[in-house]
Structure 1
Amino acid sequence: MTRIPLHIRRFLNFLAVLLLLGSGKLYSQDSIPPKTYDVYFQEAMAFRHQNKLDLALEALENAAKVAEKNDNIKAVIDALHKFSIIYLELGKKSNSEVYWDRANAQLKKMEYPYGNAVQKYIGALYKYREGNNFQAIAELNEAKQLSNDRNLVNNIVLAEGNIYLAREKYDTATKNFNSLIINTDPFEQQYLSAKARLGLAKLNLALNNLEASAIHAENALQLANKNQFFVQIVASNELLAGIYERMKRYDKSLVNVRNLLTIKDSLFTVDKLKNETKAAEKIQFDFFTNEIARLEEKNEALSQKARSSELTTILTSAFLTIISLLAVSLYRNNQIKLKTNDLLQTKNNELQSARDAAVQAMEAKTNFLSTVSHELRTPLYAVTGLTHLLLEENPSKNQKEHLKALKFSGDYLLNFINDILHINKIDADKLEPLMVEFHLKKMLQEVIDSLQQSAKENKTKIVLDYDEEIPSHLMSDPVKLSQVFMNLVGNGLKFTKNGEVTVIARLMKKFEEDVTLYFEVADTGIGISREQQETIFEGFEQGSIQINREYGGTGLGLTIVKSLLGLFGSKIQLQSELGKGSSFFFELKLKSKDGVTEDIPFENSERTYEFKGLHILIVEDNKINQVITKKMLTKKEVTSDIANNGMEAVEMAKNNRYDAILMDIHMPGISGEEATIEIRKFDKQIPIIALTAISLDDSLESFYAAGCDDVVTKPFKPEVFYQKIGENIFHNKRIKDAS
């Protein structure tokens, strides 16, 4: 008996593995996990629902190993079908058909009604995706005739519902979806219900039943969140974002958009895709390793008995077939790589779709706020302007009380609009902190002085505890910092009566020009519970409905503080106890400007101007606003002409002499900016003041670039209106003439 050399035996082992591939064996039967294939099928289903495809593939691999070891061909067919469905859901029909065809080959060798029914079901899904809806329905009917398995029947009903929805047979589709909302499926009860509710949401959206569509989509989202059905979570949020946008409920649409932005970080990550790719490669690598080890042992035993003639025969056959077998091996390895690359591409496409949906909804929200802000400010200008004029016409005592209440309501509404726009400017990255020189103590004192009236009304004292070691001149953005302290101190005053609000500023460290300061605003007010502290910095939150009703306000002040400090790289923190007050504190890094001793005025001091005899052009398309602006000028003995649009303004400015032009920006025809550009072609000196209801999309830089000398935002305070006119006619004009 001839003993086969070791290197030849190893070659034969490798050859045997290739022959096994060609014979149709799918999986290694060594190291079979201890669970049954049914358990692995259930695990694969759960992982598939949760979009954990790497784990689903591994579970199916283990199920197939158990089935082959036990020679259970029906279970092998079931595994092939489940592989086919996963790849079909990923949109990889060619990969799906590989498993479907192999299952079909096995079915031809035996009687297996359930397997044939699933084969028909998958074939119907292919036809549905190709647009052959009638053929798909026919195959689904055949599948139902072959098996009455409850889970399969429920999935067939779901598929029929989607097909009838695509064919716009809404009544039939509704019956199918409703039958699945409350189902008794032993494996996919919650999953089928979530898919059915999504189907009803899409159906009602197609019928423009937006309320019903939103309800079904919210129910689907609730089920998906509860069971971690991540694909349905994304689908529900995308659907709800579009539904609420059509309903003009932009706050709710924004919630779903933010959900999508959060989901993309957890659901569609590069690490997850790498894990799915590695899982597919590992399955094939383990198969080769196990088969080579097992066959090496068998060949070692066979080699002891082999005769030289048998060796010659084997070697001859080996050399005749080696090229084709190697080609098969390379082809299969290449298929593995193609499938994993397809999976990666699919996930990237899903990520891009989710991102595009989020961006689209965010743009819709921004455009809506831009339009609404302008439309609200224009009539609000009429309210505040007429109120001011009536208050100056010696009203009776009762009328004066009513007018003051109207003025308060107008100011409240304006502050509310400004708060919302401010937050959205930050969200839209339209705000950046400046770097200018300012006096910190002066800024804090001016904030406190501006709020003294509110403090007196609540019988509350405002205390400034200022560290004199802080450099007198610093570099930062004093306007945004003053907004932070206006909101914090104003918030403390709102919830504090007969108490004290303390503003603390401390120098923590200074190295050359780098300064780190500690700020705190503490009050002795009603305090905030631990539960309420978790949401107090979210938009429209004031702790409770009762607090909102008692103290009023928008609930946006602390949200603005949080957003503004984020621009400086700082974070607001809170300590509070019910009944004992609250303390808001943060650290801020600034630059100091050493060697400067003179005071830097925080804002221009007011001047008194003589307006009598001035002649001004009012450019305004709104009739009520024309009347209000003209009357406000008449109060100062200023005469005026009115241009109803930009074209009239250009002609009147060309043919008449005016001391200034008050230019509305948003007008039909040519805009105020375009009119200003035309006027500047023949008059470089006349002061032009943009008088506009500014929106999110408006840019102050574009006003100045067009040739405007200043901007007054409607609605405005009368004193600001007169101050701007005086500055630009008398002060800034002298500067122009001198230059």
Structure 2
Amino acid sequence: MKFFYYSLIAILGFAFPTYCQQKPNISLDSIYLEIDRAFNLNQINKYGEAIEVGTKVLEYSNRIDDDYLKAKAYNVLGNAHFYANNNSLSFDYLFKAKDLFVKIKDTAKIIVVYNNIGENYRAVDSVKESDLFFKKSLELAESTSPRKELIYPLFNIGLNLMYHFRDKDNDYVKSLEYLKRGEEIAEKFKIRESIVGEVFEALSFVYNKLGYQEESIAYYNKTVEFTKKHNYLDVLAEAHYARAYINEEKNDFENAYRTLEKYIDTYDSLYSLQEYEAAKQIEADNFLRENEIKLKLIEKEKAIQDSIIAKSRIFNIALVLFIVMLLLFAFWIHKKNQQLKLAKDKAENLSKVKSDFYSEISHELRTPLYAVIELSGLLLKENVNAKHKEYLESLKFSGNHLMSLINNVLELNRVESGKMKLQLLDFDLKNLISNIIDSLEYALRDSNNTISLKYDNSIPNLLVGDSLKLSQVLINLISNAIKFTNDGHVDVIINKVEELDEDVKVYFKVSDNGLGISTEKQTQIFEDFYQEHAKNSKSYKGTGLGLSIVKRMLVAMNSDINVISKEDEGSTFLFELVFQKSNKANLEIEVYENQLQYIQDCTILIVDDNKINQLVTRKVLDQLDIKSKTVDCGIKAIEAVKREHFDCILMDLHMPEIDGYETTKRIREFNTNIPIIALTAASSEEVEAKIHGCDMDGYILKPFINAEFVEIINKVMQKVNESVV
């Protein structure tokens, strides 16, 4: 907006020097204060605003040709685009800043920009290059008297030793030496930047790895105190996540869960801030481009005015007034278009960020849940006393309940993004509903409810449909019935409505004698996040997504749901579904045993960087009498496949250094026959889009059912073996 006003003043001033007021001078000191403010904005994750300020300062510095101001602006923009994950632009700005700081011989800023370039290289997995720049920064910082900029290379070299150069145990000791020196520099110069929190967080991690738990916890607490005080949300989130991981490694699942909750709360705050800053970044990126267009328009108008002034002053007045009106109209149109474009860009960016967030949080939540659910299930199969069995049943129920909530949230995201698809598979309906009721046994006991199943045995044994979505519908309906009923009864009725040559229509009914729902509220219960009983008692609070997901899934399966309810008398939910009849024989147990027998003499390689997940998967295979071996990274997996024979590989996808996709590609370079199956907690859409590109043979989502686990391994191994023959 200021640009248009200045443009207008310039035109009027050229036409009428006697009436034009002098353009106000901009203080150079105020510009330097602005670029320092942009640096601080980066520190608190407001990188979008930092880009906006840095872009304007850079434009001004180019006009006055001030190299030092230009260098500072380039450095700020390089850091801001680094935080915005635009590494290409970040490299461009940082190297320009480096060249200018070298030209004006500013040692302190050269140290900082070397360090920033090193961080950029590390972000794109060029660790060796990053280490070279960190060492250059350190060498330059140590060549003069101790200075506060030393903290940057000390921290980053320590970080590289922690995560990227861990060939020997003593690398943690070396890392500790660099980090402690960094802490001393922070104390000496009273540094209050976010890097101090990162130093504390890294010290907490290293002390844990070296076995000094008291020191590790003390530095974790220092990190929390420092980052909360200075509002460094990204460092605080990383600290909570790292502590949750440490607690998980020590099997302290209670504290791991609590710390993970803190991480999620902090990440939510950071996510909201980043969402706003992303919009600011888009606005700033468009700033220079829009200015170029406006400048050309103004120059053209100025040339026209020069010609008119030479002819007539009176005509010039009329022309200037016309131009003023034209500029105001153009500005109004521009403003409206800009608002529409920003709204569109913001909506598209929000959708992408939201989708990426759901994918990442799906993996992060499913991974620990895999351990909770599978370990509790494995322990329940062992000889445990009654008290411990109750604890384990409670733990497994809680894990399954949390998994159901996660599935509801992910299904909502799939519906909103248009990604919900039906997967038509053969399944046993009676066995499906029996397993669901068994899984809810603990909830029934806890609420002192009973349940009865009335199943029409004339329904064909095997049907074809989306059993996963049907399971989620029934789990939500039965869970709701149990939740809102105490000392009562739940009825599940499944009857055949109509049977044709190829199809069968089935009627489902879930009823209870619990709280019930008022007539006027019965249409609202299917809305997202609506909670009918949440205001009455905290014990009934939930996500408010269960019935919304039920309705959306049934609509996707060409059906709908009806409700009959009366307050204090209970509720009944009814729906009908049409299934295809399966051509397969109902030999589920025999099929499972044959599948298991086919793979029992095999040796499977488990590739997973998570120690608990390694343990769980190995225990599952042990119970199935299948031999296995574990490795914790892609490099070791490649070496193991070269040395030994394996009949199959279960490959984790999210691993440091090289992930499961890259590991598979490298194995395929020398072994194209070995079956490779992704064993992952990521969403199925994310996996399906990528596994074919790296020549994987299938995937298994964690947590899994043993029968499905065996079936997929069997199917993949038979397919690969037949193709080899």
TM-score in terms of structure 2 length: 0.49
Q: In terms of Rg, which structure is larger? A: 1
Relative contact order, CA 8 A, sep 6+: which one is greater? 1
